[in-house]
Amino acid sequence: MTDTNMITNLVEAVPQFSGYAYPNERTLHPLWSALIVVYPYVTGLVAGAFIMASLVRVLKVKALEPIYRLALLTALAFMLCATLPLLCHLGHPERCFEIMLTPHFSSPMAMFGFVYAWYLMAVLLLELWFDYRRDFVEWSRTEKGLRGLIYRAFTLGVTDLSEPALRLDAKMGRFISIVGIPSAFLLHGYVGFIFGSIKANPWWGNVLMPIIFILSAVVSGMALCVFAYLFLCWTRRVVADMQCLDLMVRFLFYALVLDASIEGLDWLHKLYSAEEGIETMKYLATSKLFYTLLIGQACLGTLVPLVLLGAMQLGGRGVAELNRRRIYFTCTALILTGVLLMRWNVVIGGQLFSKSLRGFMTYKMEFAGPEGWWLPALLLVLPFAILTVLIKYFLARELPTIENVVPGATPPGRA
């Protein structure tokens, strides 16, 4: 019997922990709280949505053309909010600029400032600009007032719409997409590396962590694109393009299979090699994280969508389009929740046991107060609000379908 088994008798009469926890671990709230759960979730959605968009430009998957702009705008909406959870969590947010001025290059967190700035400016905004440039020029001529001013500002003063210019736009868009894929992996992979590099914590410190983060990010981002597309079609009372939708879901399914395999491999390896701390981690997974990990992330967030979407891949033709859309909607909602729970299980789960491997901590999550869950909830809702505004300004009334979409053509006018 290993000495690092969890201790069942309560030695010290304090509610915050059972067994033994180092005195500095006995805090009321985990150090990296729900805000740090939201941050990787948001950047993961950004990376995943961008990958979906680059399937169109890089792999030239024509059938996905209708959701190209929606995917990019989704990525942008979430990217704009990505720093907020971090800023709210810092002990000294007013010193946040230090991470850009004196980055400590041995720290994975130090690359945040540059990776974020690079991805936002050199990848996302630039690709959007090259795709929208022609529309900005045309809209700036037709729109009046504030809207017209915004469009004119976004043209950056470049009004050349000649054939060579448009060809250059398309070429640049493709080039940035290609550069953007490793950038997206870096944007989210470094977060996985932050956790994977912490050898002090066996729940976090392993080599598969960055891979698992990236893969679940791709899954969540793709699921968000499908979800947003279905939702948008529903609000605009437009029939979704089934060819596009089926193809999106097929890519989502492949990504989900890959993600589930790697996460399964991680657990298989942990259980097989049974290193020190395995008893603690088994207890964590089966007791403290039973609902969020086994039920929420594994069953509802992974297995159920795998089975349903897998069935759709095999016999989807036989299912009526309406039912297929309902299944897609349900599965993507489950996946999105499951990936959020995965972030929760990683971040909070890693802080639920003592580094002495002898005890477990208990935290209470309140709604109100500086540590309350109102703030992470707000920061999760905010990107959707921003996306609504972006769609209003930048995505035409009628979503383009595969029949009438041609890259660079004048979009249907706003109704």
Partner 1 sequence: MPPQIVRLVLLTIVIVCLYFTARHFFVPQSFGKYGHYRGAAIEEIRAREPLWAGRKECETCHSEVVEKLAKADHQGISCETCHSPARGHVEDPDVVKLPKMNAAMCARCHEASPSRPKWLHQITVADHYPGSCTECHTPHQPKL
Partner 2 sequence: MSENFAQRSAVKSQGPGFAGASPYRVKNMTRRSVLRNLAGIAGGILAMPAAQVCKAAVQNGLASSNAPAGYDPTRHKWLMALDVDRCIGCGMCVEACQKENGVPQDCFRTWIERYVIKKPGPESGNARGETVVDSPDGGKEGFPALPVPKAEVLKSFFVPKLCNLCDHSPCTQVCPVGATFDAPDGAVLVDKNYCIGCGFCIQACPYGCRFFNPVTHTADKCTLCYHRITRGLKPACVEICPSQARIFGDLKHPVADDPLQRFIANNKVEKLKESLGTGPQVAYAGLDEVVR
Give contact residues for partner 1 (rule: CB under 8 A).
Answer: 97, 100-102, 104, 121, 126, 130, 133, 156-158, 160, 164-165, 168-169, 172
Per-residue buried b or exposed e for 65-92, using 16+ beta carbons within 10 Å of the residue's own CB: bbbbbbbbbbbbbbbbbbbbbbebbeee
37 lies in the site for partner 2, by CB under 8 A? no
* Whether 47 contacts 184, CB under 8 Å: yes
Comparing CB distances to partner 1, the nearer of 171 and 392 is 171
Comparing CB distances to partner 2, the nearer of 20 and 373 is 20
DSSP 295-364: IIIIIIIIIHHHHHHHHHHHHGGGS-HHHHHHHHHHHHHHHHHHHHHHHHHHHTGGGSB-TTSSEEE---
CA distance 240 to 400: 10
Residue 257 parent element (H or E):
helix 242-273
CA distance 206 to 214: 14
Comparing CB distances to partner 1, the nearer of 169 and 246 is 169
CB of 363 to partner 2, least distance (A): 14
Residue 165 contacts which entry, partner 1, partner 2, none (Cβ below 5-8 A, type-dependent): partner 1
Exactly one of 58, 172, 181, 198 binds partner 2 (CB under 8 A); which one? 198
No. of H helices and E strands in the chain? Answer: 14, 2
CB of 288 to partner 2, least distance (A): 18
Comparing CB distances to partner 1, the nearer of 156 and 271 is 156
CB of 22 to partner 2, least distance (A): 3
Stretch that binds partner 2, among 102-110, 171-179, 216-224, 299-307 (CB under 8 A): 102-110
Q: How far is CA 182 from the centre of its chain?
A: 15
Number of residues that bind partner 2 (CB under 8 A): 46
7 lies in the site for partner 2, by CB under 8 A? yes
Residue 51 has a CB neighbour count (10 Å cut-off) of 26
Comparing CB distances to partner 2, the nearer of 84 and 218 is 84
CA distance 402 to 405: 5
Question: 393, 376, 409: which is closest to 33 by C-alpha?
Answer: 376
Q: Which long-range contacts (CB under 8 A, 24 or more apart) does 147-153 make?
A: 147/393, 150/393
CB of 280 to partner 2, least distance (A): 11
91 lies in the site for partner 2, by CB under 8 A? yes
CB of 121 to partner 1, least distance (A): 8
Exactly one of 61, 63, 96, 257 binds partner 2 (CB under 8 A); which one? 96
Residue 160 contacts which entry, partner 1, partner 2, none (Cβ below 5-8 A, type-dependent): partner 1
273 lies in the site for partner 2, by CB under 8 A? no
Residues in contact with partner 2 by the rule CB under 8 A = 1, 3-5, 7, 9, 11-12, 20, 22-27, 31-32, 89-93, 95-96, 98-99, 102-104, 106-110, 112, 194, 197-201, 354-358
